[in-house]
Amino acid sequence: MAAMSRYVVVGCGYVGTRLARALLPRGPVVGVTRSGESAFALDRQGIDAVAWDLDDAAAPAPRALGAPAVVFYLVPPPRDGATDSRLRHCLARLSAAPTRFVYLSSTAVYSGVHSEEVDEDTPVAPSSERGRRRLDAEQTLTAWAERQRVPWTVLRAPAIYGPGRLPYEALRRGEPMIRHSEARPASRIHVDDLVAACLLAVSAPQAKNRLYNVTDGTSASMTEYFERVATLAGLPVPSLVSRDEAGQRVSPALLSFLTESRRVNGQRIRDELGFAPRFTDLRLGILSCLPAP
């Protein structure tokens, strides 16, 4: 009988906590979070957890990271700057080489002006600081992994939605959306399907030293997405404005997603790893996120 793997999930937030729970039947799991309070919350869910503030360059890695393990890294880069200092701090402090390193990246590494579908062979040219930090993280990881001879996998995710992560507040605030004639196609992924892709990244031999886009295969615009959420959740449907007007009326965080919307091809992970997302119908995906009546 093969020995069970050991897993470390660095960044047990929205996606990471779900991933850690999904890994528990496969072997010992350590969740890494920023604060002791969050670590305590994970412990109560049955996940061994430790705190590690990656903004502190002098903070040593927790002892739990001192043994070889499959590492999933889901910590977002800092909000400022052109590089991902958090990932650099993590890699510099690891005392044991991981048996595999999976990095959850973003499709923001592609240019925000693509009118055609992008895939893994499309040249990366991020048009936002957020995208540039993500690209720096990918390049930093792959260079480090090659030097350390650590197998790696990069998963590029678009907008992530799921239970507790629908745009209720923006809809309640009455934030407008771009009118349909000017709205761009956009890709997204349900959190449960993203977790499934993470599991495939470490169980499929073909995933070693590969990068994959992870999408549900749909390309409804953000406008259509917001309208569907509003209708299904019983909230006000957003008003529609021109793209120019949206630049003045939409919050900066939401505007960045609207500006960078793009159609992303996720066929590679389906062909190579057999990825089969459950939620390929946006309406059913949204319904799965709503609280039970």
Please say if the pLDDT value at position 55 is more than 90. yes
Rounded CA separation 280/291 (Å): 20
For 39-50, write each residue's pLDDT tens digit: 999 999 889 999
Please say if the pLDDT value at position 169 is more than 60. yes
For 184-233, write each residue's pLDDT tens digit: 899 999 999 999 999 999 999 999 999 999 999 999 999 999 999 999 99
Rounded CA separation 42/21 (Å): 10
The answer to whether the CB of 92 falls within 8 A of the CB of 62 is no
15-19, 24-28, 109-113, 198-202: which has the minimum mean pLDDT? 109-113
Residue 118 forms beta bridges with which residues?
Answer: 264
- The per-residue pLDDT for 147 is 96
Q: Structure tokens of 242?
A: 């021109």
Please say if the pLDDT value at position 4 is more than 80. no
pTM over 0.75: yes
Over residues 4-23, the mean pLDDT reads: 94
214 Rama sector, left if φ>0, alpha if ψ -120 to 50, beta otherwise: beta
Q: Which domains does the chain have, with CATH numbers?
A: 7-164+188-216+265-280 (3.40.50.720)
Over residues 241-257, the mean pLDDT reads: 85
Q: Structure tokens of 67?
A: 């043994």
